[in-house]
Amino acid sequence: LRPERCLRLLEVCVDPGFLEDPGSDIWIEALSSLDCKHSIEPQAIPRSITWRRNMPSILSAPDDCMVKTEEEKEVLVLLEPADFLKRLYSLTQTFVDASSGSQPDLNQVLPLASLEGSSTKTYSLAVVGLDAYRCNQEQNGWQPLSPGKQSPRSQPGPELFMTQQEILEAQVVLQLWGDIDVQLLDTWQEFGEHVSALTKAIARRPYKSQLEMQELSFCTAGVSGKGLRVEKDGTGLWQVWKRQIQQFNRVSPATAAAIAEAYPSPGLLVQAYEECSTEDEKLLLLSNIPVKSDISGKDHRVGPDLSRRIYLFMVSTNPDLILDLTV
């Protein structure tokens, strides 16, 4: 299967609730530009998007049109900013009420207990216009005017007083405990780009699986000019580790070399993760490693995005986890 054919075999299933959104025509237009089918049909979770793959049956006769339909694991749920904040606040309250070491109650954000087959799905959330909503609420007078007094025009819920740090911490909990990614988007155009990127990533999965089954470009007995040779004494392993880091999207040779110099082997990196005291520290462990540009000679840093992707790659047990949705 080539990437373009994979996309033609995929169908995007959109809940009718999306048609009530003011920006639905914007992102559906972006979806229509893809070389794949899309349909409007009720979903188990309101205002959600699912994907299914329509594969022609190999055993069917040439004149038959037998198609095998396979449901994909991904489910994207759109939440209104107000609803999202309320759910997130309820989740944070479980931190306060729960005993030490207990698992957060993720049903406060996404109730899945009553849904059949929910354990086999991978859920992600999208929120459009959260910053604009919070700014608008603040301008409408929900902030405290003086100690003990509140604007008479509104009776704000406690979720409106959540800080940016509290929102970020709740997102990390969702990612690590529930494998639930949260995308905070400013416009419907960005939402359309996100849906398109996720659709492409899901569509190309069979093609990438085929590539993974092929021989790797490096091995311990490699003699090819494209491969990397590793001697019996371990010489060359550092180059292999650097090459592996460089296989992440948007990673230059200089960035890969900087990370490999800081942590010369995967084992040392895992050991460094184990020595971190908090999840935030693990996520940002590599972000401040300096990188010298091959072109300008100016230093920059690895950054939080790549640091997060490498951490999730090293510790996640989900083989289908999508680390990067920007391609």
In this chain, the answer to whether the domains covering 1-214 and 217-315 adopt an identical fold is no
At 146, the pLDDT band (50, 70, 90 cuts) reads: very low
The set of long-range contacts for 102-109, using a CB threshold of 8 Å and a minimum separation of 24, is: 103/177, 104/173, 104/177, 106/174, 106/177, 106/178, 106/180, 109/174, 109/178, 109/180
Is residue 139's pLDDT more than 50?
A: yes
| Residue (of 88, 238, 233, 241) closest to 173 by Cα position | 88
Q: How confident is the model at residue 140 (pLDDT cuts 50, 70, 90)?
A: confident
H helix and E strand count, the chain:
12, 8
Q: Tell me, what's the pLDDT at 187?
A: 92
Domain ranges of the chain: 1-214, 217-315
The reported pLDDT for the residue numbered 145 is 45
Chain-wide mean pLDDT for the chain?
81
Helix/strand/coil for 127: strand
- Reference 279, options 307, 247, 238; nearest CA is 307
For the domain bounded by 1-214, which CATH number is listed?
Answer: 3.40.50.10130
Higher pLDDT: 196 or 292? It is: 196
The span from the CA of 245 to the CA of 261, in Å, is 12
pTM value?
0.60
Second-level CATH architecture of 217-315: Orthogonal Bundle (1.10)
Give residue 297's pLDDT band: very low, low, confident or very high (50, 70, 90).
Answer: low
- The pairing of beta strand 48-56 with beta strand 37-40: unpaired
Question: Which pLDDT score, from 0 to 100, does residue 142 have?
Answer: 55
| Tens digit of each residue's pLDDT (9 = 90 or more) over 86-119 | 998 888 887 666 555 567 778 777 876 567 667 7
What's the mean pLDDT in 119-133? 90
Cα 309 to Cα 325: distance, rounded to the nearest angstrom: 11
Summarised one tens digit per residue, pLDDT across range 169-218 is 888 888 888 888 999 999 999 999 999 999 998 988 888 777 766 654 44
Which tops the pLDDT comparison, 47 or 231? 47
Cβ–Cβ under 8 Å, residues 106 and 178? yes
> Above 80 in pLDDT, residue 246?
yes
Sequence-distant (6+) residues with CB within 8 A of 13 are 38, 39, 41, 43, 49, 50, 51, 52
Beta strands 181-185 and 122-128: pairing type? parallel
* pLDDT given for residue 124 in this prediction: 92
